[in-house]
Amino acid sequence: MNDASIIELLWERDEQAVSEMKKSYEKLCFHVAGGILSQQEDREECVNTAYMDVWRSIPPNRPASLKNYLCRLVRNAALNILKYNTADKRSPDMSVSLDELSECIPAGKSIEDNVDAEQLGAAISSFLRTQPEKHRKVFVRRYWYSESIEEVARFYGMNEKTVATYLFRVRKKLKEYLQKEGYFIE
């Protein structure tokens, strides 16, 4: 069943929509949650929370891409669970990937004071579309799916140093892009 049909079932409040979402996206949802959470129980809770959030939010929302919408909800739920479980102490893997991005993404205070987070997300997406496909995919696997450099390298059959170099160059270009767009205040 395609996304439009599932969304239509959600609009009709048909519980079959949740079953169809699971058939289509359960593996992807667990992959997204697994990049952030190490415990199976936490991943299950996260994915179930995301399904419930989709059920509650459609309607009134009608996402253009159910896949992207669901992945965003899974990721947000996973980050909330991680925050709760660690009480201000992040998992080392997640901390490393967030620290890498901190050099090219404005600090939280700047975002709150100067730009809407959604606008920043749109700017980053726009920037990534201008990058070579391989660089873009490596960046997304590292920073969206929270995969380690080793996992990304293994997935693409690349050397870890090559992956690290790709990431360094894309972060540097991203920082320059965001500065030109007025998102980064130093």
* Nearest CA-CA partner of 144 in 80, 98, 84, 86: 98
The total of structural domains in the chain comes to: 2
**Category of 159 on φ-ψ map: left (φ > 0), alpha (ψ -120 to 50) or beta:** beta
Tokens standing for 37? 């959470």
Q: Which domain holds residue 75?
A: 3-86
Would the pTM count as exceeding 0.95? no
Pair 149, 117 in one domain? yes
pLDDT tens per residue across all 186 residues of the chain? 899 999 999 999 999 999 999 999 999 999 999 988 988 999 999 999 999 999 999 989 899 899 999 999 999 999 888 888 776 554 455 555 656 766 676 655 444 444 466 777 788 889 999 999 999 999 988 888 888 899 999 999 999 999 999 999 999 999 888 888 877 655
Residue 186 domain-assigned? no
Q: Which residues contact 55 (CB under 8 A, 6 or more apart)?
A: 10, 17, 18
